Structure 1
Amino acid sequence: MSTLFASLGAVIHSFSSPRSPHRVPVFEANSDPALLAFESEVSSRLEQLRSTDGTGYLSIEWLCQAMEMVLSTHAYAEVFVPNLQHDATNSDRKWTNSFLDNSVKLLDTCVILKEAVAEIKSYCGHLKVALRALEKEPTGEVQLKRCMKALNKCMDALKRRDDAVNYLGHRRTKLENCSSMLRRMGERLNMEDASNGNSCSAIYTAQIITIFVYGLLSSALSLKPRRSLSSISVDGHSSWCFSLINLQQSVKEQIERKKRRGSNAVLEELDMADIAVRKFHDLIQEISHGKSSSEKGIQVLKVTEGSKALQALFMDLQQGIPALESHLENTYRNLLRSRMAFLDMELGS
């Protein structure tokens, strides 16, 4: 039951749509000490994320911290679980049906997010081959050719994803389809009354936080995203509402800076690796067209230095992926367990 809130996260995605004429229900000021402590904790965690250096937004470490916040928010909300069955029983039956439908779609979303991480792992595989080609010294023409071939595969891995979107015209990537699906889920529910007791207020908070983090993941794992990060419109008296607004604005500004710079990736480590790969590719290509052996000798030294810098970026990316995978897997398991817990609650009512 402690993971019940995890499955409810995406049902309010429509609150992030600026075109929606509906507003998030405004909760009356609550004097319940437990609820006030819960909201204060959420605000504190949001402020901690915002206090990160702006260049750290959308790094693997930061995203993992954001997902940890989601899990801790759900765990903190556990105190309200005993009241959940009573509140749900007195609410519209559509609330139950919507939850069961949304939980399946959220499980599908987690699968797609994990597939996106698998694509980054494939990129890392090509980059590893490129770096290994330069391990043997002295660096000769054969090693440079092998490295160049692997670097081409790295760049093609990002380019193919972008070309596929352009070639298919109006069709969208799986991550974009996920965002649209979540938005439609919210549109069907944004007219429902979410203020049926403190347990529903806690669920509402957990939903907002989950949607925000899921949106971050969808943007971070996208390549050349064509859409800006959706802003979740919240309206309430809780301090965490303002913390969330300020945080999402800061993150959105960083994504826009990346887009203006022409970045191929939003994920910080992948973006930095991609920039270094393209520069390294140009250097090797320049060496292959060198006019004299002395000139090539100087440039080979540059290759050695460049490969060390690229190796460091590769390690940052490669070492961060397992943590990202682990958090996504935990999310998936929580979604599955929470669905089963909710079904058990229904059978027992």
Structure 2
Amino acid sequence: MSLPHDGQRPFFQFGNPFRMIFPKESYLSPRLSALLKSFEQSLAERLKKLIPKDKSDVLSLSWMRVAMESLCGTHRDVQTLITELQFPVSDWDEKWMDVYLDNSVRLLDICNAFSSEISRLNQGQLVLQCVKHTLSDADVPSSSERIIQARTSLDDWVKQICSRSPKLESCSSILHGLTSSLYMSKVMNSDKGKVLMRAMYGVKVETIFVCSIFAAAFSSSTKTLTGLQVSDKFLWAGAFNELKLEINGEIKKLFEHGTSSIFKELELVESSVKKLFPLISDGVVPAEGTLVKSASDLGESAERFSEGLDFLSKEVEDFFQIVLTGRDALLCNLRAYGLNPDPKQKSSVPEQLVR
């Protein structure tokens, strides 16, 4: 596969904003230190679990599902941390709240982009199941209308699988915006605020990383892979740097070797399609049972791929709801304290997740 961005540096070359979060050595109370340590250790464990034991698992639908589960868990953890800090929204820095609201809109948009692409891929699997049923009769002759119908359906599937959802085009700019938000010159001055800022930095880094992998997988391009560098002062830095090295490196190898599909499950479907095509070509009379067997194999591989997409779709939807719930909670708290959120923020929220 020829990639338009091969040979270029990764899209994100941002450094580490750690000094902006903690410009000087911070001394926290034992309670706050324990809360922060617990959060960072949990994040480190989540990241370690994403490091694949087998490189062939990289960008399988099952790995992507686990990655999105991990991201959901981290976002839940930071919501719990906010509650445990007993840090009223009235004490939050106004600029930080604006960035939070901006980023939540970006995340909702990118969830919609991912869901749109998953839906498009799933529609293709319905076409393949129709091919299976069309060719399920062992007595179907090669010149029959059903053979012609199956061949037409496979042609349509090939065209569809090579296309992309238009919404994916926005992922690069969305991720760029999320990465830029790591650079905040003004931070919360209280100890609780500093703990929250440090935790949110970890959340953002994992979010950017996972979403960049999803964008690369769906767009078949390496340009969204993040080059973020994380300071070893974070307890989760080692796990993140190892994970980034393993995953980004393997993705680049896949593209460099001209893989036709970055999804392992989709490669199995494509292999079945290639085996079936010659059996339903003009002038070809399939051997007895060969056509039915090939059609059955195609149906099974398509069904496994569809099931993987369904599980992944559910995790993306869960993430969407977590982000939306957190955003709504902040807006409600702002109103409760008599603060007026920016009206532009409210109007820019996507109405619903695309299924």
TM-score by length of 2: 0.78
Shift in Å, 1:297: 4.7
| CA contact 1:127–1:154 (8 Å) conserved in 2 | yes
Shift in Å, 1:221: 2.2
> Residue in 2 aligned with 1:19?
13
For 1:316, give the aligned amino acid: R
> Residue in 1 aligned with 2:227?
231
Shift in Å, 1:89: 5.1
For 2:299, give the aligned amino acid: Q
After the TM superposition, which of the residue ranges 300-309 and 242-251 deviates more from structure 2?
300-309
Give the 3 Å change call, closer, same or farther, for CA 303–254 of structure 1 in structure 2.
farther
Partner SS, residue 241 of structure 2 = helix
Match of 1:174 among 167, 179, 191: 167
| CA contact 2:187–2:197 (8 Å) conserved in 1 | yes
For residues 267-346 of structure 1, what are the structure 2 equivalents within 5 Å?
267-285=263-281, 288-290=282-284, 296-298=285-287, 300-346=288-334
| CA contact 2:11–2:224 (8 Å) conserved in 1 | no
For residues 46-125 of structure 1, what are the structure 2 equivalents within 5 Å?
46-82=47-83, 86=87, 92-125=93-126
| CA contact 1:84–1:200 (8 Å) conserved in 2 | no
For 1:234, give the aligned amino acid: V
Unaligned stretches of 5+ in structure 1?
1-15, 165-172, 291-295
After the TM superposition, which of the residue ranges 97-106 and 320-329 deviates more from structure 2?
97-106
> Residue in 2 aligned with 1:149?
152
Shift in Å, 1:264: 3.7
> Residue in 1 aligned with 2:206?
209
Which has a greater percent of helix? Answer: 1
Give the 3 Å change call, closer, same or farther, for CA 261–284 of structure 1 in structure 2.
farther
Partner SS, residue 273 of structure 1 = helix
- In 2, Cα distance between equivalents of 1:134 and 1:65: 36
Partner SS, residue 139 of structure 1 = coil
Same amino acid, percent of matched pairs: 23
Deviations along 1:125-180, one digit per CA (max 9) or x if unpaired, are 1111111111112232223322211111110112344xx9xxxxxxxx53242222
For 2:150, give the aligned amino acid: C
Unaligned stretches of 5+ in structure 2?
1-9, 338-355
- In 2, Cα distance between equivalents of 1:87 and 1:344: 12
Partner SS, residue 138 of structure 2 = coil
For residues 20-35 of structure 1, what are the structure 2 equivalents within 5 Å?
20=14, 22-26=15-19, 32-35=33-36
- In 2, Cα distance between equivalents of 1:262 and 1:276: 19
Partner SS, residue 17 of structure 2 = coil
Give the 3 Å change call, closer, same or farther, for CA 87–57 of structure 1 in structure 2.
farther
- In 1, Cα distance between equivalents of 2:18 and 2:187: 7
Give the 3 Å change call, closer, same or farther, for CA 318–188 of structure 1 in structure 2.
closer
- In 2, Cα distance between equivalents of 1:188 and 1:68: 23
Give the 3 Å change call, closer, same or farther, for CA 71–253 of structure 1 in structure 2.
same
Shift in Å, 1:86: 4.1
Give the 3 Å change call, closer, same or farther, for CA 42–344 of structure 1 in structure 2.
same
- In 2, Cα distance between equivalents of 1:46 and 1:62: 12
In the alignment, structure 1 residue 190 sits paired with structure 2 residue 183? yes
Give the 3 Å change call, closer, same or farther, for CA 76–282 of structure 1 in structure 2.
same
| CA contact 1:258–1:266 (8 Å) conserved in 2 | yes
TM-score by length of 1: 0.79
- In 2, Cα distance between equivalents of 1:333 and 1:78: 13
In the alignment, structure 1 residue 241 sits paired with structure 2 residue 264? no
> Residue in 1 aligned with 2:346?
none
Aligned length: 314
| CA contact 1:24–1:233 (8 Å) conserved in 2 | no
| CA contact 1:83–1:199 (8 Å) conserved in 2 | no
Shift in Å, 1:90: 5.2
- In 2, Cα distance between equivalents of 1:283 and 1:262: 26
| CA contact 1:273–1:314 (8 Å) conserved in 2 | yes
RMSD: 2.8
- In 2, Cα distance between equivalents of 1:214 and 1:323: 17
Give the 3 Å change call, closer, same or farther, for CA 116–342 of structure 1 in structure 2.
same
For 1:249, give the aligned amino acid: L
